[in-house]
Amino acid sequence: MPNFNRLKDCVVTNKNVIVRVDINVPLNDGNIEDDTRIKAVIPTLKYLAENKAKVIVISHFGRPEGKVEPSMSIEQLVGRVQELLGSIKVNFVDDCIGDKVKKVVEATNYGEVIMLENLRFYKQETKNDPEFSRQLASLGNLYVNDAFSCSHRAHASITGIPSILKSCAGFLMEAELDGLTNHLENAKKPMMAVVGGAKVSTKLDLLNSLSAKAQTIVVGGGMANTFLYALGKNIGKSLCEKDLKDTTLEIIESAKKNDCKIFLPIDVVVTKKLEQNGKCQIVSVDDVKDDDIIVDIGPISIAKLTQELQNHKTLVWNGPLGAFEFKPFNIGTESFARIAAALTHDKKLVSVSGGGDSVSALNSTGLIDEFTYISTAGGAFLEWLEGKDLPGVGALSV
Ligand code: ADP
Ligand code: MG
């Protein structure tokens, strides 16, 4: 991870500070369903306002694809931000560049917040258009990135502005970068990586990168089926990418070369039809029938994993171990979460998890706060874990 500038080291008083946040929250009928992402950036906004900066907040919201789309207006989020900021005044302009925006920024007092309209109403945002970046940058004298979850994208508001203005990481961004560096980059060994989820094809880079870093890789979820198939087992009607047989064998081979042990399910939960509360059975991976669908990891595997995990100091986990949206096929994921949480609680394990579905699976267990560190950054977390350089982080390096 490159060294990066931090907000606490920057002078902000009487400065126009542009803050890139990710307040891309889910809406239902215009109501905010989950305001986690808004709450997460409040400390940065509050700090800036309390230190008498003019706080210019920019974000994308949904995928309007370069068109003005009223259902994706940032205006819908202004009320919530105002509630959370209390006595700090929050203003809104229905554009993000141009004379109108300039005038409102000029008229705003230091110590107040101005939220600009959805960046992605302009197609120039995702195209990283230099002129669009210049216009955004002209509103401020300092740029703060507090959107780690967008930092794998080389967009105007992520890499364009910091190429023009002095830049630093906001508190949320700083916490993500420090969390990943402390717990994973400088991980205590041995490290166990658990990779689940639906498909091997979406996690090839991840598996290859982890096989060089971890001492054990546990393959679970639908992906495990492809591994079992590649090793000659019958997987019935389970989700499986048969065309990836050779690729999968290569992953197994390269892990071997790296002295990385690959752990596959020993027993599995099978059903005939993937549905809520579907009838199911626990069988050995050698006894899967032609009409079976593998939907979860079995109890013997979980018991073996529990033993294994005690020999590791760090756990990094991405991807549910079963089709957790269909109960009771959440049991494997939940059992493993419980064990990881207990070991973490006893200070025997550093546990890190992230990924869209992983976070929602862990949320539903109620154990999420027991983990050492949870990254809510989704794709950016995965790309970081894959060993890729994130352009938005590079742009803040000193
Ligand atoms: P993340 O978003 O955390 O990176 P993924 O998107 O890779 O995770 O995978 C999550 C999906 O994998 C879930 O929708 C889950 O239902 C699915 N899944 C897990 N195990 C199985 C399985 N055995 N068969 C089919 N789908 C599965
Ligand atoms: Mg997902």
Average pLDDT of the chain is 96
Condensed to tens digits (0 to 9), the pLDDT of residues 201-213 reads 999 999 999 999 9
- Which fold does the domain 179-385 belong to in CATH? Rossmann fold (3.40.50)
Work out the average pLDDT over 260-265: 98
Taking the CA atoms of residue 224, residue 228, residue 234 and residue 237 in that order, the dihedral angle to the nearest 10 degrees is 20
Condensed to tens digits (0 to 9), the pLDDT of residues 272-315 reads 999 999 999 999 999 999 999 999 999 999 999 999 999 999 99
Taking the CA atoms of residue 96, residue 100, residue 56 and residue 3 in that order, the dihedral angle to the nearest 10 degrees is 60
Residues in a beta bridge with 20 = 58, 145
Helix or strand or coil: residue 115?
Answer: strand
253 CB-near residues (< 8 Å, 6+ apart) = none
pLDDT of residue 376: 85
Condensed to tens digits (0 to 9), the pLDDT of residues 109-147 reads 999 999 999 999 999 999 999 999 999 999 999 999 999
Give the whole-angstrom CA distance, residue 144 versus residue 147.
9
- Selected catalytic residue, list 20, 37, 54, 120: 37
SS (H, E, C) 125-140: CCCCCHHHHHHHHCCC
Q: Are 98 and 135 in contact (CB under 8 A)?
A: yes
Q: Is the confidence at residue 44, as pLDDT, over 90?
A: yes
Instruction: Report the separation in Å between the CA atom of 381 and the middle of ligand 2, taken as the mean of its atom positions.
Output: 12
Residues of the chain with CATH 3.40.50.1260: 7-172, 179-385
Q: Which ligand is nearest to the CA of 358?
A: 1
Residue 32 pLDDT class (50, 70, 90 cuts): very high
How many CB atoms are located within 10 Å of the residue 398 CB?
Answer: 10
pTM for the structure as a whole: 0.90
Condensed to tens digits (0 to 9), the pLDDT of residues 58-70 reads 999 999 999 999 9
Q: Is the confidence at residue 2, as pLDDT, over 80?
A: no
Instruction: Report the separation in Å between the CA atom of 105 and the middle of ligand 1, taken as the mean of its atom positions.
Output: 45
Please name the residue whose Cα sits nearest to atom 7 of ligand 1.
197
Q: Is 199 a catalytic residue?
A: yes
Q: Which ligand is nearest to the CA of 271?
A: 1
CA distances from 148 to 153, 373, 391 (A): 10, 15, 11
Which residues' Cβ are closer than 6 Å to ligand 1?
196-198, 202, 221-222, 239, 294-295, 318-320, 322-325, 355-358
- Selected catalytic residue, list 179, 278, 356, 394: 356
Instruction: Report the separation in Å between the CA atom of 28 and the middle of ligand 2, taken as the mean of its atom positions.
Output: 21
Residues in a beta bridge with 18 = 56, 143
Q: Is 123 a catalytic residue?
A: no
Instruction: Report the separation in Å between the CA atom of 350 and the middle of ligand 2, taken as the mean of its atom positions.
Output: 23
Q: Is 37 a catalytic residue?
A: yes
Condensed to tens digits (0 to 9), the pLDDT of residues 146-195 reads 999 999 999 999 999 999 999 999 999 999 999 999 999 999 999 999 99
Which residue has tokens 């579905």? 357
Q: Is 213 a catalytic residue?
A: no
Residue 214 pLDDT class (50, 70, 90 cuts): very high
Q: Which ligand is nearest to the CA of 320?
A: 1
- Domain 7-172, second-level architecture: 3-Layer(aba) Sandwich (3.40)
